[in-house]
Each structure stands twice: as structure tokens, then as C-alpha cells.
Amino acid sequence: MSVVSRRRFLNGAALLAAPAVLPTQARAGDMPHAECVPPWTQPLERYDAERFGPLLAVSDEGDNAKIIADAAYASAKARALRTASAMPVGLMIDGERMVSAGEGPIGPDEYAKVVAAAFERTLCSTNVGVRANTRLYRLLPEFAVADAAKGEAAWLASVFAAFTPFLETPDGVPRPLTVRLIVQPTDTPSTVARLVAKLRSGRLQRKLGPASIDRFALLSIANGPITSGAPFDEIERVLNIAAQTGIADVAVDGDLTPAARERESVAALLNVMDVSTLRDLFASARRKNVRLVYRYHVDVDSTARTIWTGLHTARSYGLSAGKYGLIPLTLEEQERVVALVSRWTEGWTTVPAFYVDTPLVTADDVFDESRVVDAAALWMERMHAAGARLALFDCPDPIAARRLVRDAQHPNGVLTLEQIVALEQHAKRVGLHVLWSGGLTPRLAFALGARRVFGIFCTGAASRQVAVHGNFADDPDLAGEIAPTEIGVRRVHAALQAGFLTEALRSWNTALAEQIGARAQELLAVVEAHRPVEQALTALDIALIRGWKAYWMTLAELGK
């Protein structure tokens, strides 16, 4: 690459992005589909974890990015390679700002530092947002059933009037509309049924379009939290009325839950009720063949475009990949976003995230921690069908403060190692690669390496605490920040490599596999005792270099 090209790249010029002016013969909406990756790497999903072991990513806002890159080339794997380069070394700098609210996106100052450090040396990625920037559509027309008692003819006319603009459109093609009828506890089923029948009769006078276009739904608005007792029973009653009158949808609203207030919003109906209550109401709705929905409706297409803008920035700066979160969307909303983003970014690696510490809401069910494996399996299938090829599993909620792995040392974790293995196997069947993140320690890096996962993110265990400085100074709840160190990155990377090689070599060179395992345990012991690691790391690196050379030689002999 020429000096001029290098300068333009490091300045964030969009060398790898869509051209500013499309050819005149291009159709509106066309996007380039050629591979769009840094010139020294391949698409991230092509990383060969079977040959080079799991990928390791370490997050930083840029000040320590060069330290991460230097650690990559000081690793045993880099030293064992004949010619070390970004893909086989398999260490990625992840541009991220670790603020008190969780993982924050980076800006131009940070991009410049990350790209400069990664240039021609390592892979690089970023997270454009844990939460999606959601907008709500304006509320659908709503009419209280009780108001019909003040004048039924006028009430019916006002409801029909809401449909008029959707029937008399500029092109003469009717637009679909759903009008919601607010049902209060004092409204009897017979009253609702009578009014619905009169409204439906309006189709004969062409006051409504066909039933496939113009519809009615019921709306129940709780006064207070929706829990067991009266609020729950009232929604059950409205579901029964809907089933009896042939109405397909019941919308619900109520006071925001504490979880929704703390996080600005959560997924759909979890804004107004807890998981247990929602699960019971979904089950009741399914039995009655009625769909239960939230009163508010997310503009998913705008959400997708907002995510795309962040990803396009990362792509334009030449990063290897861009991760993106999908909270607070439901499964179906996430599916729509991933399908659009995958199409718009074809030729580059985008990584949707599944958060194991966050309930997954679908059209008719809700999955919490007790069903997280089922939720993750379903999510992987749907996201792969929508175009995803690489996914991130994480637990970033700063309020819940959970870890990815649950074991004796970390009882607040979510997934056991056995569950992670099962999900890795399911991902392979689906055709998806998975990156794992969330409070991982060097010992867990070793364990995940031994289970031959595709890759992990591990920052805290590779870092030290430093004083708050720079653009973190205005964070009101940050007492300190973490900074990756070269020895910290090297020890995590060595543990990950060791876990992989102990298993990869076990059937081919048992003695060497056991030696690597023993040296790794010595390193982990001094790490956990908070003692200097240099001597143990050097001993492990010597064994790892022998291990990598033996492993690659065996692969060559087998023709792999």
C-alpha cells in the first residue's frame, strides 16, 4: 500500500466503503457487494479457528491499542508462525469505551487510534451500540367503549371517520389500519360485542375496507402495575371478550416496571409487566387464539437504518467487523433489522449480539434465564436465516451485572460450560460462528479454548485499574477505568492457546499436550494468587511454540 493510501486510510477515508457517486446505470438502492475488508485481512467469519485456535478480542478506546497489537506479536503463536500476520495471529483490537453505563461506541478520535494500531498487524472491530436507537410509531386510533353511551351514532361515526383517510388514499389503494377499542373494567362483554357488530356492519356501507385491511383490536390499560390479582384478571377478561367476538389482537398498557425505568425501555410488554406475568398471559392468549401485544409499536425500519449508519462508519474506517446490539427489540423485530443490515453490508462482517442476561420476547412467548438455551438456539436459527454469519453472546447489562459463565467461582453467571458447548454445536449445525464475552477470566479462557470455541472477548482479565482521564472524566459514576496491559493480554492469550492445544494435541502427542496443560495450570495459579507471571508465562510460551509447530505439522501430514 502506498504512503498516500496509508495516510488516507489512517485518516478514516472511506476507501473500503460504497462509492460516493454510483455509476449512472446503477439502480436506486443498489449497494456494492464486493468484499470490503482491510487489505491485510480476510472477512472475520473466515478466521480458521480449527487451525489457529480461538480468536481473542480485547476492548479499548484506543489509548492502549498499540499495546494490544504488540502483545499479539509477542505471543507464542505469532512466534511459532513462519510469517506472522493478522488472520493467523488471531488477536483483535475492539474499539470500545467502557463507561459506567456499559459498553459505549467510539468516535473519530478513538477510531484514529484503533486503526493506526491495527494497521497491517491485527484484526479490529467495534460495537456501534449495545442498545438500538428505537423510535415509536404514533399510537393507533383509540376509542373508549364507554364513550358510546354518550351517543352511539356519533361514536360509531367517529370510529368510521378514522378509517376514511386510509380508504381514500392518493393512489386509490386502501392502506391497512387497526383501530383499538379501549375496554374498561365496567364495560360488559355484551356491550363490546354489540358495538363490534355494528362497526363490522359498516363494511356493507363501504365505511370500512375488507377485514384483511381494516381491523379492530381491544385495548386494556391498567391503572398501576400489572401483576397478579385485579390487573391480571382484567386482561384475562379482555382476552376472553376478544375470543368471543372474533377479534385477533389485544393490546395492553400500564405503569412502567422498575426494570423499564432503569434501562429507559425493555422489550415490548416487559415494559409493563414482569416475565412471570407475561408468560402466563401469553399462555392464556395462545389458548384463546388471540395475539397479545404492547400498546406501542417500534419503527423497526428506522432502527435498522440508525444501526447501519454506525456500522457504515466502522466499515469506512476499515475495521474488520462491526458488532451491534438489538435491545429492546422483540425476536421478530430483531429478525427484520438483521435481514436489512445483512443485505446493506454484504461483503463485510456485521455481528448481531444476543444478550444472555436479557429476556427474549417473541410474538407469543417470553424466555428468561431459566430458558436461555432454548432462546439462544431459536435466536441463532432466526438470525442466520436473516443473513447473520457471525454472532456475539454477551451479558452487558450494567444493572444486572452478570457474568457469561456460571460455575462454583461465579454463581452469578448465566451459562454453564456444558451449555456453551451445546450452543456451539447448535451454531455449527445452523452455520453460525459465535464469539463469547462477559467477565471471562484467564481460567475460563483456558476452559473455552479447550472446548474449541470460535473466539472470545476478554478485557477485564487483561487489564489493570487506572485513574479516570480524558473523555471519561465527565462520567458521574466512574471511580476508575481499566487499561489493557501487554502482560495482561499475553497471559489471557496464552491461556486460550493452551486450552486449545491441550485438546487438539491430545490424540496425536499426549506428552506434549500434558506438558502444555501443566504449564498452563502453573500460569493460572500465579495469576489467581496475584503474583508476577513472567516466569510462568515464559515457560508456557516455550511449550506453546512447540505445540503449535507440532500441531501444524500434523495437519500438513494429514493433508488439512
**What is the rounded distance in angstroms from the CA atom of residue 314 to the CA atom of residue 352?**
14
Phi-psi sector, 129: left (phi>0), alpha (psi -120 to 50), beta: left
Task: Name which of 560, 336, 389 is nearest 35 in CA terms.
Answer: 389
Task: Say if residues 74 and 490 touch (Cβ distance below 8 Å).
Answer: yes
Q: What is the DSSP letter of 226?
A: B
Q: Where are the alpha helices (DSSP H) in 367-485?
A: 372-385, 417-430, 442-450
- Cell readout for 425 is 454445536
| Sequence ranges of the chain with CATH classification 3.20.20.380 | 44-133+300-497
Beta strands per DSSP E along 459-521 = 463-466, 481-484
CATH of domain 44-133+300-497: 3.20.20.380
The segments of the chain whose pLDDT lies below 50 read 1-5, 7-9, 12-33
Q: 520, 545, 523, 547: which is closest to 535 by C-alpha?
A: 523
Give the gyration radius of the chain's Cα atoms: 28
pLDDT of residue 321: 95
* Dist CA 90 CA 121 (whole Å): 10
Q: What's the whole-model pTM score? A: 0.90
Contact 255, 269 (CB under 8 A): no
92 close to 57: Cβ distance less than 8 angstroms: yes
pLDDT reported for residue 35:
61
Tell me, what's the pLDDT at 36? Answer: 67
Write down the number of H helices and E strands in the chain.
19, 21
Question: Which residues fall within 8 angstroms of residue 132, CB to CB, at 6 or more apart?
Answer: 303, 306, 307, 324, 325, 326, 327, 328, 329, 337
pLDDT of residue 504: 96
pLDDT value at residue 26? 29
Contact assessment for residue 341 and residue 369, using Cβ atoms and an 8 Å cutoff: no
